Structure 1
Amino acid sequence: MNLSDTLNDIRLERMRRLMGLLEPDPHALVLWKRAMAALHDDAERSRLAHAFRFAKGLKYHHVGLTSDIYFSHPLRVAALAILISGARDAGTGVLAVLHNVLEVSDVSVDILSETFGSDISNQIETLTVDRDVQWDKTYKEGYYGGLVAGPLSVRVVKIVDKLDNLFVLGLNPDASVREKYLAEIEDFVLPMTEASLPSLTAYMRNLVQDCHSTGFIERPAATNLKEET
């Protein structure tokens, strides 16, 4: 699969995500349908559809976003993770569509384990960041060390999660936070991308440079934002 079949140029991808702050991102569903079709049999599609229904039914606690608008993010991450990695089973997609639930919903590890099995719940725990120490160097090294030591799926999901977030990093008005975020990408995520998802490396590097040069961006207003074709 050509990466260009899945990701467009940075400007258009950013515009889609900015539009997605106002209403659920329709392109996320397009990607999702493609990802479902890419799985190798109906059993895997059924497994992924079960995770979709579970995740879509949750109430998410994310400042400034309704649950249905927020859900476009894990939906995109799941679809892109499947399409970019070439996964044929549902595991990566299940993990991706659930990757943030411990942080932004009331779902517990026990519920995840009962519903999806301990492998998935353990991987979600591995992916979940302790926000109280997220900028601590020792914590960060241990966190990414855990990803490197874990299954490939956790690295793929982390990489694609960061990719999706980078497009709207400029919405954060704090330049120092933006720079710390980009430093984390450069120090940890780009090397992980080279090793675990090499087809995405050049695009990620270009996106990081674009974020450095773009800086702060205004949150869109519904009256003046239209997607380019």
Structure 2
Amino acid sequence: MIRSRFLFSFLLLLISIIPFSLKAQYTDFKMRLGLEVEKEIIDNLDAHIELEQRYMHNISSYDKTFVEPSLSYNISKHFSTGIIWRIQIRENNSYKMFSEQRYSAFVKYDVSYLDFKLKLRSILQYGFDDITNAGFSVDQKLINRNSVQVDYDWFGKKIKPGIKFELFHHLNHPNGSILNQWRLKAGASYLLSKHSNIDVYYMFENEFNVVKPVDAHIIGVKYGYKF
């Protein structure tokens, strides 16, 4: 009962801080295709590598590609921490390819209640961000991302529907720290075998307090394999 009340109160708090004044200049439809591999190195220490291809402008043009290796360590049954390194390739306004990098650290808390699993995560990242019209120079931004996710074990645990909310806080903005983006994601993960799964999702992304903000409707598919 205490956990369910905590979950309900936390979701209400997040919803209350979502900036509902949508002032996006235009709306876009995007697609993401991903692959993720995970391997346990030693007890409680896992290595991950993720590859993702993104498309924008109503899925009519290439957006970006990134490779993201990471390490995560389980501090206890419910707490974990880790580091992430992202190498990204995309086009500039002259259609020339260039690369940029981003470094992140995170802490995560997981807890299960009945058939539900609650995941809370806070990330501190330094480097570029994913704002659509942020510019094409390597912008060294310090961003704090906080998210809450709820998954549900369904149909004998073969399929797990879930919903996730994430809020972005630009800490070193020239005008002071500001909120500039939020995401709401809904989808499901299907267990293909003991080691593999496929995720299908829809995500709505709203940018604000930035130049030329965008509302993005995103569909995505990701295949995961765990050794």
TM-score between both structures, scaled by the size of structure 2? 0.29
Higher strand share: 2
- Bigger CA radius of gyration: 2
